[in-house]
C-alpha cells in the first residue's frame, strides 16, 4: 500500500519495549515509521482517530486449524484469515492435519499462496512432523521450511513414538524451528470424550485423565533436554503439566507452551446436558486446573494464548456426545474472552495480556510482528476495550459456528486490524456493509 | 387443600434430577398395575389408541419384552424398531431417527442406545414422550424403579436400608440409576468391586466404597449384583472371569458369614458362576424373579403417568370424579 | 343415611331373589364402603355371607387423555369368577353415567355375570349416557355447576350428603 496511515490519539501498548503510553503510530510502506506524541501526517496519508482505543502489535495465534485442502465447507484459508482479522489477529499458524496432510513442499506452498490471495491475516503453514501424520517417517522439514513452514507438528494426534519425537527434535534444530506436540497418551485417553472426574461419572461418559497429558509433557520435556531441541507444547489443560513445565524451564530446557481461552475459562461442568460445544481435546478440566493455568500464563511458565480454532460443520456437532467430533472455533472470540475473564477479572493487566497474545507468540516461532518498534513490519491491531457485545455465532466470519461461548456477554473487540500497513479489518465499515 | 400431586414432565430420562415425590408416585402407581397382570384378561384400555415405538439401538430381549408387555397390557399399539448401526455413523442415525418419528406423530418412544445422553438428546428434539430404556453408561431408570419397588415390597421401606451395588459400577447405568433412586429415598448406598471398575469421584456422591465383597456382605441388608460383561476381561479391566468369581463372587459360603438374611438382587441376565453363584440366585433370599414381575408393573406405571394429560382440565376432572 | 341403606339392602334382596348368587361390587372409593355396609345389613338379616369386591375404574375412564396429573389408581379385587353371578354395582352418586359405563367395561374383562344391576345412594340426574339405576336411595334434581358430596364415616368421619347449589 502506498498510502501512509496515521493512528492518532490512542493508547499504545508495546510489550516488546515495555511501552504503555498515549502516542500516535505512523505507518509507511508497510512498516512502522514512527511512534510518538503529536506525529504529523505526511501528504496523502490516511488519518484514523483512535482516541479512547488501544493500539497494540497485531495479535498472533500459533495454533489454528483451517480445513483447506479437504474440508473447505468447514473453513478455508481465506475464511480463516478473514475470521482471524476480525478477531484482531494479524498472523495465524495453520496446522497440517488437512486432507491430504500438509507434509511436503508443494502443500506448504499452496497454503502460502492461498494466504497471499486472501490478503487478510497472514497464514503461516505448519508442516507435519511425519508423512501423512502417521507417526512413522519424518517429513522433509528442510523443503517445507524453504516453502514457508514456520514449525512442524502432527497436531490432531500426538507423536507417539519417542524415537520419532527425538529424531524430529534433533532434525528440527538444523532449521531453527520448534516441534509442536499434541500431548496425549493414546492408550490412556482412548475412547475418552471429556475430563475424567465426577462430572463424567454422573454423565456416564468415558473420561480422559489429566495423566494422559502430563505423561507426554514429561516425555517431551525430557526429549528436549536430551536433544537440545525446541519443543512447543500445544493447548495445555492440566495443573500437573504446569508443574512439569515450570521445573523444566528452571532447568533451562527449551520448552515453550500455549493455552487456549476456553481452558482458561471453562470447566468440565460445561459438558452437562451433554452439550457437544463443550467437547474438545484436550478436554475442559477442573477449577484447580484453570487456576494453575492462569498463574502459569501470568508468570510466563506458559508463554502464550493460542485458540486451537477447530471448525466443524453444524450437523457434525448435532449428535450424541460420544459421536460428536472434538473441537471449537475461537479466532473471533479469543481476545474478548481473554480480556473479559483475565483482565476484567483482575488477574492480568492489559499489557500482560497483549504480551501473551502478540509479542511472545511471535518470538517463540520467530515470526515478524509482536512489536511496534520503528522499522518493524506494520502488523497492528486497534482494540476497543469498552465495546460490550454478545457472542452470536450466526455473525461469525468463519464458516463454522461451533463455539462454547454462544450468547456470552463479552467486553472488548478489535476495531481495526492492519497487516503490512494495509487495513484488513475495519469494524466501522463492515458494520455498514453487507456480510 | 391437598398439595398438588407431583407430575413427571414429558420424558423419563433418568432419576438423577427427579424428586423423591416423583419417584414415590411411580412406585405407588405400580402397585395397582401388579394386579392387572394377575387378571384373566391382562389388559386395561388406559392407553388405547396410543402409538408407542420401541427404538432399540442395542440388542436387548428382556427389557424390550418387558416394555412390550407393559404397552400391550395398557392397550397401546406397539412397534419394535431394532436399529443396529450399519455403515451409517451412530450420531447421524439418531438425529434422522428423531426427525422421522416426529414426522410420523408417534405418541411415545422407548429408546435404548449405546451413547450416554441419547434419551435426553431425543427428548429435546421431539414432542413425543421419551422413555430411557438405557443410554450408554448413563442411566436405566425403569430398572432402578423396579429395583426400588422390589426392595420396598420385601422390606416395607427404603429409608435407612443398607444397599450395596456389587460389580462393574464404572460401566453400569443400572448402578447409576439405583444410586440416585436409593439416595433420594433415604437408603444408605455402597458400591463394591475391583478398583479398575470403580468410577472416579463416586465417594463425592455420598456412597461408601468397599474394596472386598466380604466387607460389603458384613454391612449390607441388600446386595444388587451387577452383571460382569465378558469384554471387561478382554479390555484388561480384570485378568479373568475365574479370578473375578474367586475374589468377588457372591457365594453361599460368603453370605453365611453375615448375621442378617441379605436380600439378593440382579438386573439380569445373570452370568452364573461369575458374579453370582447359582445356589444364591436360586436361593431363598433371592428376589430376582420378583424384579422381573415388578418390571412390567413399573413400566406400565411410567407409561400411564407420562401419556397425554393436560393440566388445565385437572380441576374439571376432579369435579367429574365425584359422580 | 342408615335408613336409606336399610331400604336399599331390602330392595337388593328382592331384586336378586336372595343371596345365593349375589355379589356386591363397590366402586372406589365411597362405593366400596357403602357396599360393605349394605352387605353387612344383608348378612345380619339373612344369616348368609355376601361376597363383595372393590372396583377401581380409573384405567377405564374415557377422559384419561384430558385429565391433568394422572389420578391415583385405587385397589381392584373381585371375589372369584363372576360368571353366572348376579353382580350389583354399588356407588355413592349417579350423575353422567360415565363411571358406570367404565365399570361395565371393566367387569366385562373379568368374566360374564348372569346379570348386572346398579344400586346408588343418590341419583342427581344429568345423564350423558343411557344408564339407569335399578335401586336408588334418594333422587335429587341438580343442575350443572351444582355438586352433591357424599361423606361416609369410614373415610370422612361422618355420614352426610350435601347438595351444594
Computed on alpha carbons and rounded to an integer, the radius of gyration of chain C in Å comes to: 15
The full length of chain C comes to 165
Point out the residue among C63, C72, C110 whose CB comes nearest to the CB of B317.
Answer: C63
Residue A28: phi, psi to the nearest 5? -145, 140
Closest-CA residue of B relative to A272 is B117
Q: What does DSSP assign to residue C34?
A: H
Give the integer Cα–Cα distance in Å for C28 and C55.
6
Provide the shortest C-alpha distance from residue C116 to chain B (in Å).
19
Asked if A197 lies within 8 A of B116 by C-beta distance, the reply is: no
Asked if A321 lies within 8 A of B201 by C-beta distance, the reply is: no
Per residue in B72-109, pLDDT tens?
999 999 998 887 654 345 555 787 887 888 888 889 99
Provide the shortest C-alpha distance from residue C9 to chain B (in Å).
21
Helix, strand, coil percentages (3-state) for chain A, rounded to 5, are 35, 25, 45
Point out the residue among A197, A198, A274 whose CB comes nearest to the CB of B117.
Answer: A274
Q: How many CB atoms lie within 10 A of CB B80?
A: 14
Average pLDDT over residues A49-67: 97
Report the pLDDT value the prediction gives residue C81, as an integer from 0 to 100: 86
Report the run of H or E that residue A232 belongs to, with start and end.
strand A231-233
Report the pLDDT value the prediction gives residue A433, as an integer from 0 to 100: 39
A201 and chain B: CB distance < 8 Å anywhere? yes
Point out the residue among A198, A206, A324 whose CB comes nearest to the CB of B91.
Answer: A324
Average pLDDT over residues B238-245: 90
Report the pLDDT value the prediction gives residue A431, as an integer from 0 to 100: 57
Point out the residue among C56, C66, C69 whose CB comes nearest to the CB of B32.
Answer: C56
B46 and chain C: CB distance < 8 Å anywhere? yes
Is the model's pLDDT at C164 over the cut of 90?
no
Largest CA distance in chain B: 67
Closest-CA residue of B relative to C100 is B323
Report the pLDDT value the prediction gives residue A432, as an integer from 0 to 100: 42
Is the model's pLDDT at A27 over the cut of 90?
yes
Helix, strand, or coil (residue B36):
helix
pLDDT, averaged across chain B: 88
Report the pLDDT value the prediction gives residue B318, as an integer from 0 to 100: 43
Report the pLDDT value the prediction gives residue A82, as an integer from 0 to 100: 97
pLDDT, averaged across chain A: 96
Provide the shortest C-alpha distance from residue B204 to chain A (in Å).
8
Confidence of residue B2 (pLDDT cuts 50, 70, 90): low
A85 and chain B: CB distance < 8 Å anywhere? no
Instruction: Identify the CA nearest to C66 among candidates A37, B274, B316, B268.
Output: B316
Confidence of residue A114 (pLDDT cuts 50, 70, 90): very high
Average pLDDT over residues B151-177: 96
Q: How many CB atoms lie within 10 A of CB B200?
A: 16
Report the pLDDT value the prediction gives residue B85, as an integer from 0 to 100: 53
Count of CB contacts below 8 A, B vs C?
Answer: 89
Give the integer Cα–Cα distance in Å for B59 and B82.
7
Report the pLDDT value the prediction gives residue A2, as an integer from 0 to 100: 59
Report the pLDDT value the prediction gives residue C132, as an integer from 0 to 100: 94
Q: Residues of C numbered 25-84 whose beta carbons fall under 8 angstroms of chain B's beta carbons: which are they?
A: 56, 58-60, 63-77
**Taking CB atoms and an 8 Å cutoff, what residues of chain B touch C73?**
29, 32-33, 304
Alpha helices in chain B (DSSP H): 20-36, 62-73, 90-103, 118-123, 141-155, 173-184, 213-219, 230-234, 241-248, 252-256, 278-281, 288-306, 314-320
C3 and chain B: CB distance < 8 Å anywhere? no
Asked if C110 lies within 8 A of B317 by C-beta distance, the reply is: no
Average pLDDT over residues C113-136: 93
Instruction: Identify the CA nearest to A265 among candidates A246, A234, A299, A289.
Output: A289
A318 and chain B: CB distance < 8 Å anywhere? yes
Average pLDDT over residues A296-302: 97
Report the pLDDT value the prediction gives residue C63, as an integer from 0 to 100: 81
Per residue in A324-375, pLDDT tens?
999 999 999 999 999 999 999 999 999 999 999 999 999 999 999 999 999 9
Point out the residue among C59, C96, C111 whose CB comes nearest to the CB of B45.
Answer: C59
Average pLDDT over residues B300-311: 78
Report the run of H or E that residue B80 belongs to, with start and end.
strand B77-82
Asked if B43 lies within 8 A of C109 by C-beta distance, the reply is: yes
Mind telling me the catalytic residues of B? 62-63, 90, 112, 140
Asked if B319 lies within 8 A of C111 by C-beta distance, the reply is: no
Per residue in C29-75, pLDDT tens?
899 999 999 999 998 888 888 999 999 998 898 887 776 677 888 88
Provide the shortest C-alpha distance from residue B74 to chain C (in Å).
9
**Taking CB atoms and an 8 Å cutoff, what residues of chain A touch B139?**
204
**Taking CB atoms and an 8 Å cutoff, what residues of chain C touch B40?**
109-111
CB-based contact C75:B35 (threshold 8 Å)? yes
Report the pLDDT value the prediction gives residue B4, as an integer from 0 to 100: 61
**Taking CB atoms and an 8 Å cutoff, what residues of chain C touch B317?**
63, 66-68, 71
Q: Where is average pLDDT lowest: A319-328, B5-14, B137-146, B194-203?
A: B5-14
Give the integer Cα–Cα distance in Å for B236 and B228.
13
Output b/e per residue, C146-155; b: 16+ Cβ within 10 A. eebebbbeee
Is the model's pLDDT at A62 over the cut of 70?
yes
Partners of chain A (3+ Cβ pairs below 8 A): B
Average pLDDT over residues A291-303: 97
The full length of chain B comes to 323
Mind telling me the catalytic residues of A? 308
Partners of chain B (3+ Cβ pairs below 8 A): A, C
Asked if B320 lies within 8 A of C74 by C-beta distance, the reply is: no
A323 and chain B: CB distance < 8 Å anywhere? yes
Per residue in A154-206, pLDDT tens?
999 999 999 999 999 999 999 999 999 999 999 999 999 999 999 999 999 99
Is the model's pLDDT at A211 over the cut of 50?
yes
Report the pLDDT value the prediction gives residue C152, as an integer from 0 to 100: 87
Q: Where is average pLDDT lowest: B155-164, B220-229, C72-81?
A: C72-81
Report the pLDDT value the prediction gives residue B308, as an integer from 0 to 100: 63
Average pLDDT over residues B30-35: 91
**Taking CB atoms and an 8 Å cutoff, what residues of chain A touch B116?**
203-205, 274, 320-322
Confidence of residue B319 (pLDDT cuts 50, 70, 90): very low
Number of H helices, E strands in chain A: 14, 18
Per residue in A255-282, pLDDT tens?
999 999 999 999 999 999 999 999 999 9
Residue B168: phi, psi to the nearest 5? -80, 80
Q: What does DSSP assign to residue B253?
A: H
Q: How far is CA A297 from the centre of its chain?
A: 14
Provide the shortest C-alpha distance from residue B253 to chain C (in Å).
42
Is the model's pLDDT at B181 over the cut of 50?
yes
Report the pLDDT value the prediction gives residue C161, as an integer from 0 to 100: 87
Provide the shortest C-alpha distance from residue B301 to chain A (in Å).
26
Amino acid at each position: 500500500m502506498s498510502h501512509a496511515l496515521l493512528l492518532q490519539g490512542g493508547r499504545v501498548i508495546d510489550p516488546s519495549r515495555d511501552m504503555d503510553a498515549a502516542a500516535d503510530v505512523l505507518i509507511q510502506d508497510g512498516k512502522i515509521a514512527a511512534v510518538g506524541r503529536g506525529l504529523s501526517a505526511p501528504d496523502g496519508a490516511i488519518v484514523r482517530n483512535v482516541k479512547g482505543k488501544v493500539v497494540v502489535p497485531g495479535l498472533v495465534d500459533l495454533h489454528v486449524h483451517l480445513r483447506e485442502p479437504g474440508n473447505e465447507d468447514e473453513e478455508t484459508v481465506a475464511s480463516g484469515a478473514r475470521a482471524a482479522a476480525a478477531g484482531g489477529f494479524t498472523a495465524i499458524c495453520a496446522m497440517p492435519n488437512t486432507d491430504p496432510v500438509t507434509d511436503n513442499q508443494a502443500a506448504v506452498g499452496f497454503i502460502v499462496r492461498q494466504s497471499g490471495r486472501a490478503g487478510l491475516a497472514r497464514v503461516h503453514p505448519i508442516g507435519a512432523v511425519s508423512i501423512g501424520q502417521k507417526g512413522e517417517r519424518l517429513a522433509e522439514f528442510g523443503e517445507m521450511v524453504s516453502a514457508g513452514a514456520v514449525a512442524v507438528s502432527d497436531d490432531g494426534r500426538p507423536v507417539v513414538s519417542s524415537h520419532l519425537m527425538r529424531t524430529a527434535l534433533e532434525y528440527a534444530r538444523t532449521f531453527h524451528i520448534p516441534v509442536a506436540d499434541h500431548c496425549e497418551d493414546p492408550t490412556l485417553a482412548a475412547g475418552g470424550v471429556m475430563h475424567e472426574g465426577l462430572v463424567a461419572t454422573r454423565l456416564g461418559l468415558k473420561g480422559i485423565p489429566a495423566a494422559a497429558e502430563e505423561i507426554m509433557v514429561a516425555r517431551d520435556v525430557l526429549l528436549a533436554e536430551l536433544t537440545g531441541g525446541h519443543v512447543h507444547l500445544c493447548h495445555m489443560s492440566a495443573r500437573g503439566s504446569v508443574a512439569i513445565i515450570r521445573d523444566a524451564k528452571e532447568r533451562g530446557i527449551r520448552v515453550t507452551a500455549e493455552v487456549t481461552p476456553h481452558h482458561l475459562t471453562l470447566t468440565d461442568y460445561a459438558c452437562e446436558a451433554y452439550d457437544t460445544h463443550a467437547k474438545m481435546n484436550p478436554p475442559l478440566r477442573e477449577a484447580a486446573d484453570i487456576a494453575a493455568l492462569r498463574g502459569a500464563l501470568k508468570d510466563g511458565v506458559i508463554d502464550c494464548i493460542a485458540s486451537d480454532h477447530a471448525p466443524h460443520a453444524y450437523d457434525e456437532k448435532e449428535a450424541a456426545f460420544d459421536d460428536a467430533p472434538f473441537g471449537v472455533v475461537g479466532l473471533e472470540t479469543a481476545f474478548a474472552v481473554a480480556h473479559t475473564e483475565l483482565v476484567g477479572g483482575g488477574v492480568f493487566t492489559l499489557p500482560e495480556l497483549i504480551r501473551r497474545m502478540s509479542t511472545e507468540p511471535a518470538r517463540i516461532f520467530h515470526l515478524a510482528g509482536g512489536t511496534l518498534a520503528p522499522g518493524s513490519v506494520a502488523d497492528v491491531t486497534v482494540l476497543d476495550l469498552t465495546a460490550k457485545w454478545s457472542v452470536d455465532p450466526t455473525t461469525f466470519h468463519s464458516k463454522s459456528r461451533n463455539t462454547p461461548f454462544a450468547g456470552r456477554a463479552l467486553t472488548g473487540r478489535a476495531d481495526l486490524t492492519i497487516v503490512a500497513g494495509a487495513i484488513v479489518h475495519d469494524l466501522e465499515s463492515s458494520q455498514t456493509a453487507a456480510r | 387443600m391437598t398439595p398438588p400431586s407431583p407430575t413427571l414432565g414429558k420424558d423419563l430420562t433418568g432419576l438423577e434430577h427427579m424428586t423423591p415425590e416423583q419417584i414415590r408416585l411411580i412406585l405407588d402407581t405400580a402397585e395397582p398395575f401388579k394386579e392387572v397382570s394377575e387378571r384373566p384378561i391382562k389388559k386395561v384400555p388406559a392407553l388405547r389408541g396410543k402409538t408407542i415405538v420401541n427404538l432399540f439401538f442395542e440388542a436387548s430381549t428382556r427389557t424390550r419384552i418387558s416394555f412390550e408387555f407393559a404397552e400391550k397390557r395398557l392397550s397401546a399399539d406397539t412397534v419394535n424398531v431394532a436399529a443396529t448401526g450399519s455403515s451409517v455413523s451412530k450420531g447421524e442415525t439418531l438425529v434422522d431417527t428423531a426427525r422421522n418419528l416426529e414426522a410420523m406423530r408417534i405418541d411415545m418412544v422407548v429408546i435404548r442406545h449405546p451413547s450416554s445422553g441419547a434419551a435426553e438428546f431425543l427428548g429435546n428434539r421431539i414432542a413425543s414422550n421419551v422413555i430411557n430404556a438405557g443410554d450408554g453408561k448413563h442411566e436405566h431408570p425403569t430398572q432402578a424403579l423396579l429395583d426400588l419397588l422390589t426392595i420396598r415390597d420385601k422390606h416395607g421401606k427404603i429409608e435407612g436400608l443398607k444397599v450395596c451395588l456389587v460389580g462393574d459400577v464404572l460401566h453400569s447405568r443400572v448402578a447409576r440409576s439405583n444410586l440416585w433412586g436409593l439416595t433420594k429415598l433415604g437408603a444408605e448406598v455402597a458400591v463394591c468391586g475391583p478398583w479398575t471398575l470403580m468410577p472416579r469421584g463416586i465417594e463425592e456422591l455420598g456412597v461408601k466404597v468397599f474394596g472386598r465383597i466380604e466387607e460389603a456382605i458384613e454391612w449390607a441388608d441388600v446386595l444388587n449384583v451387577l452383571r460382569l460383561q465378558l469384554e471387561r476381561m478382554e479390555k484388561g479391566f480384570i485378568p479373568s472371569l475365574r479370578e473375578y468369581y474367586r475374589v468377588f463372587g457372591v457365594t453361599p459360603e460368603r453370605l453365611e458369614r453375615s448375621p442378617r438374611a441379605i436380600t439378593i438382587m440382579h438386573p439380569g441376565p445373570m452370568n452364573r458362576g461369575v458374579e453370582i453363584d447359582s445356589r444364591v440366585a436360586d436361593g431363598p433370599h433371592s428376589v430376582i424373579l420378583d424384579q422381573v414381575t415388578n418390571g412390567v408393573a413399573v413400566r406400565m406405571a411410567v407409561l400411564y403417568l407420562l401419556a397425554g394429560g393436560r393440566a388445565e382440565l385437572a380441576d374439571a376432572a376432579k369435579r367429574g370424579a365425584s359422580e | 343415611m342408615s335408613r336409606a341403606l336399610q331400604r336399599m339392602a331390602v330392595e337388593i334382596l328382592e331384586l336378586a331373589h336372595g343371596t345365593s348368587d349375589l355379589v356386591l361390587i363397590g366402586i372406589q372409593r365411597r362405593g366400596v364402603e357403602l357396599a360393605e355396609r349394605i352387605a353387612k345389613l344383608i348378612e345380619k338379616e339373612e344369616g348368609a355371607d355376601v361376597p363383595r369386591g372393590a372396583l377401581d375404574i380409573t384405567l377405564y375412564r374415557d377422559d384419561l387423555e384430558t385429565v391433568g396429573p394422572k389420578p391415583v389408581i385405587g385397589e381392584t379385587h373381585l371375589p372369584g369368577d363372576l360368571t353366572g353371578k348376579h353382580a350389583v354395582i354399588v356407588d355413592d352418586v349417579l350423575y353422567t353415567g360415565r363411571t358406570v359405563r367404565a365399570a361395565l367395561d371393566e367387569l366385562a374383562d373379568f368374566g360374564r355375570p348372569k346379570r348386572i344391576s346398579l344400586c346408588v345412594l343418590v341419583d342427581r340426574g344429568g345423564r350423558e349416557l343411557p344408564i339407569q339405576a335399578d335401586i336408588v336411595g334418594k333422587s335429587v334434581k341438580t343442575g350443572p355447576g351444582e355438586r352433591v358430596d357424599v361423606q361416609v364415616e369410614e373415610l370422612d368421619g361422618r355420614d352426610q350428603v350435601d347438595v351444594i347449589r
